[in-house]
């Protein structure tokens, strides 16, 4: 009879120590990171079309167009695996590449200001709208990722889940996505 009572007590103790909650929180954070990457990829896919549309109107602004192309190439070469989400240096490198691309896109949009016929071009307007929507999606995906990271980090650092996190999963806290570029707290001024 006593052994029969030990089995439910052991199951309750194991369930209370984070045996399931730690991997559940980790997988949720990894899924949110996949959303971030998906939206960055969407942005990277839109940029060549935007640049090609702008080239016809702004040939003399070749430097700006080339900087966008270089920044896009650089941003798409920096990749993170879900195992890198606990490495602050790799997260910093990824964030910097994405921030460089955002800056280059901002310069492109300011350059477009000089070309009223480009601003009214239907293809350019459609691409610009898609790019703006993608930037919004990126913001939401990063926010959702940070919320999932916060939940995961809380799970692996609080009792009783930290028992499973330390001794069963060897879990490390994940890195949130942070705005790292200078002036990131201020929106750029773009006038049309």
Domains in the chain: boundaries: 21-167
Residue 159 has what DSSP assignment? T
What number of CA atoms fall less than 13 Å from residue 57's CA on the CB side? Answer: 20
- Check residue 61 and give its pLDDT: 65
Q: Please, what's the largest Cα pairwise distance for the chain?
A: 87
pLDDT for 192 equals 36
Instruction: Identify the segments of the chain with pLDDT beneath 50.
Output: 188, 190-192
What's the pLDDT at 165? 87
| Distance spanning both ends of the chain, measured CA to CA | 79
pLDDT at site 180: 60
C-beta neighbour count of 88 within 10 angstroms = 11
The SS3 of residue 111 is helix
pLDDT of res. 137: 92
Query: Looking at the domain that runs over 21-167, which CATH code has it been given?
Result: 1.20.1440.20
pLDDT at 31: 93
Question: Model confidence over 51-106: pLDDT tens digits?
Answer: 777 766 655 566 777 777 888 888 888 888 888 888 888 888 888 888 888 888 88
């Amino acid at each position: 009879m006593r052994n029969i009572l030990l089995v439910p007590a052991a199951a309750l103790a194991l369930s209370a120590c984070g045996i399931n909650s730690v991997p559940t929180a980790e997988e949720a954070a990894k899924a949110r990171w996949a959303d971030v990457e998906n939206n960055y990829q969407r942005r990277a896919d839109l940029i060549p079309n935007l640049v090609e549309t702008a080239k016809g109107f702004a040939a003399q602004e070749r430097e700006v167009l080339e900087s966008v192309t270089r920044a896009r190439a650089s941003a798409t070469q920096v990749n993170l695996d879900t195992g890198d989400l606990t490495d602050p240096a790799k997260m910093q490198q990824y964030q910097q590449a994405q921030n460089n691309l955002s800056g280059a896109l901002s310069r492109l949009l300011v350059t477009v200001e000089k070309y009223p016929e480009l601003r009214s071009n239907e293809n350019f307007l459609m691409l610009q709208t898609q790019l703006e929507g993608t930037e919004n999606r990126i913001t939401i995906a990063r926010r959702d990722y940070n919320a999932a990271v916060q939940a995961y980090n809380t799970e692996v650092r609080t009792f009783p889940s930290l028992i499973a996190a330390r001794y069963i999963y060897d879990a490390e806290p994940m890195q949130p996505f942070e705005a790292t570029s200078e002036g990131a707290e201020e929106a750029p001024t773009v006038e049309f």
